[in-house]
Amino acid sequence: MENSIYGFVRDTLLDNFLKLARVNVLTGEYEFMKYDVVMREEGYEDISSIYHYIEKQVSDGIILSGYVGEYLKFANPEYVQKRVFSGDRRIIQSYKRKVHDGYMWVTFGIVVPKDCDREHPQVVFYWREADSDTITMVDALSTLSAIYSKILKINLTTDSFQVIKVSEYERTRFANRLSRITDWWREFAESGHVHEEDLEVYREFTDAERLRKVFREDSVSAQSCRYRRLIGDTYRWAQMELMPSIEYENDNQVLILYIKDIHDEHLKELRNRQALLDGYHRDALTRLFNRHKYNEDLKELSKDSEGHLTCMYADVNGLHELNNHLGHEKGDDMLCSVADALKRFFPEETVYRIGGDEFVMLSTKLSKESVEHIVVEVRRDLLQDNYEISVGVEDGPCEQNAYKVVVAAELAMRKDKERYYRENGRDRRRRVLNEELEKTLEAKKYAERFLNVISDKYAGVYFVDLKKDNIQHIYIPEYFLTLLEEADYSYSKAMRLYIDRYVKEEYQPGLLQMIDYKELTRILRTEAQGDISLIYQKVDEKYVSLRILEMGQYTEEKYETIWIFSERVFQADDSVKLLQGGN
């Protein structure tokens, strides 16, 4: 009865395998114990080494190309012997292979007896049809491999690792030479593969004792670390993640290590973070540092026990009068001119706009005398635009006195402003403003005359920046202004509304092509040589001629065009192509 049961169990187990071979891993000699007809290959009868047998399978194209690399490792005697004699009891590789006119999933593995050593180098190679769970696992690993550049299974308890995926360089440089994961981490850092600025973070994260303690306290959560690692000749941002395996226990700390390249997304994140910081620290109008940044920096300067601070405090003369006479747009122009002058003569990181018309410069490198000389140049520069500033300059030790230095500079500025107005500065400024006002009114009068002339001839004239999708109008009818407001001032969206509501259906495709800016740019720069003309008909039966011309240079930031719409009369038999270059 026992023999019968033994035979049943043996036959049942053998049925699960397509091929079984007894193999001497030192010599490569093998003998098949089972060879299913499904797996039989022609021309393999005289091959004496199992390693040559696997090589021939690959060279004959039996193994699907995507799985060749991993399967071909088992044609390398050194690789197989290292795994077998290191005590590895789970040596498995799944792949896809040709069978007749189709493919099948196969699991290849090596069974290593407990007494296997160099005196008894016998193992069993097996091939069996992969089950659905194995196929799912391989698919999952393939997906992970596309995301992660390195995947290891590590054991903190035994200080060992098992490679799931690494680059060929790391396999040769580290994996094939080392047996302990701590040695790999240490040599990786010491050999220059980690950016020197990230070495401290990397070493702290990969400290094995720290990791053992962390995962003992929380065996569920993953741990991650960002650092720059050497790829070729360039350091790129990477993220290492350590996650407990399903095998994890406190006395058998098995983890999965993933590393993925996050360089591009991390740089984007840093840019976004800097943009947010700039939004908090930068003045929206002049792009100088604002009062928030000024307060933070002044606080830090007050902690400097050895530094010496020089402060220039400036106030723009006549901003209030300029706003009242010519409007706030002119006032903004004045503030921007002052900011630009200060940026030209002082390091930009030292200059702040701290109020409506107040500017401050803080420096621990410039002396009071040098700042006073620079102020003379700033004033001379601003006078070219008829702008003037009142200025005070003071200096003193930083520690606990930085605020006193600023207050002293502000008081000096107030005295300078009193002097300015005492010496008829107010009357002179009012005279200059009146002259500016006359010029503005004259220009406005001519502009109104121009618009009155073109309003009868043109249905709309707009400057359009194709990069920014914004519009500056020369002449715009009321109905299109309404469309722009409805489209939140996006020109392409406003045009889409216009086409949908006002243009006959058969002419719509040609116009829609014009608001596909990528296609429009291509046409302007190749076929039309910077000048496109087209004619379409509106739902009110009127014909409109549209001409689009390049207005400036094409850059990454800007591509300006002018769009000229004019209503024209055409005969019904006139044949006009929707797109044609020139007039």
Q: For residue 477, give the CATH number of its domain.
A: 3.30.450
Q: Which of 388, 316, 385, 394 is CA-nearest to residue 361?
A: 394
Three-state SS at 273: helix
Statement: residue 530 has pLDDT above 50: yes
Instruction: Quote the number of domains for the chain.
Output: 4
Q: How far is CA 485 from the centre of its chain?
A: 32
Note whether 264 and 328 are same-domain residues. Answer: no
Out of 98-102, 248-252, 289-293, which region has the weakest mean confidence (pLDDT)? 98-102
Residue 209 located in a structural domain: yes
Q: Identity (one letter) of the amino acid at 491?
A: Y
Residues of the domain holding 533: 458-581
Tokens 């701290």 correspond to: 354
Under 8 Å between Cβ of 524 and 530: yes
What ranges in 282-401 are assigned the alpha helix state H?
Answer: 291-301, 319-326, 328-345, 368-383
Alpha-carbon distance of 122 to 124, in angstroms, equals: 7
Burial of 75 (0-12, 13-18, 19+ CB in 10 A): buried
Three-state SS at 443: helix
Amino acid 578: pLDDT: 43
Residue 436 located in a structural domain: no
The more confident residue out of 6 and 70 is 70
Q: Identity (one letter) of the amino acid at 51?
A: Y
Strand partners for 124: 22, 111
Residue 140 located in a structural domain: no
Which structure tokens are listed for 562? Answer: 């002018």
Note whether 162 and 125 are same-domain residues. Answer: no
Note whether 198 and 226 are same-domain residues. Answer: yes
Note whether 294 and 420 are same-domain residues. Answer: yes
Residue 139 located in a structural domain: no
* Percent of the chain surpassing pLDDT 70: 84
User: If pLDDT is split at 50, 70 and 90, which confidence band does 138 have?
Assistant: low
Note whether 510 and 565 are same-domain residues. Answer: yes
Q: pTM of the entire structure?
A: 0.40
Q: What's the CA dihedral at 265, 266, 268, 273 to 10 degrees?
A: 140
Q: Which of 576, 497, 513 is CA-nearest to residue 543?
A: 576
